[in-house]
Amino acid sequence: MTCPWCGIEVPLRSLHAHLSDEHGDVVGIVGQDDRQFYEVRCPSCDAGYRKPIKKSGRDPDFLAEFDREVRMVALDMLVNHLLAEHQTAVEG
């Protein structure tokens, strides 16, 4: 599959790790009304995904400890979107 940001070809099983390791900064963490959310946008169609980070409101250290995992969840949603909506684009 083709990475939508840098164009590298990687197997599907490796795409998720590649996105997290190399492009984790595309996931935004935003706060609103004592809650925190992750946000990610599709680089192909600009569709956005925003979901609450459930434990972040109750545990102020949660994001410091689980930042990488939260970003991986957001990127997993993006991979699912890419496969469903842009399969020919990500297949290279």
Q: Are 35 and 59 in contact (CB under 8 A)?
A: no
Q: Are 75 and 66 in contact (CB under 8 A)?
A: no
Backbone angles phi, psi at 53, to 5 degrees: -95, 105
Q: What pLDDT score does 72 carry?
A: 93
Q: What pLDDT score does 13 carry?
A: 87
Q: Is the pLDDT of residue 31 over 90?
A: no
Dump pLDDT digits (tens) for 33-90: 778 899 999 999 999 999 999 876 677 788 889 999 999 999 999 999 999 998 765 6
Q: Give me the residue spans of the domains in the chain.
A: 12-87
Please tell me which residue, 64 or 27, carries the higher pLDDT value.
27
Q: What pLDDT score does 50 carry?
A: 96
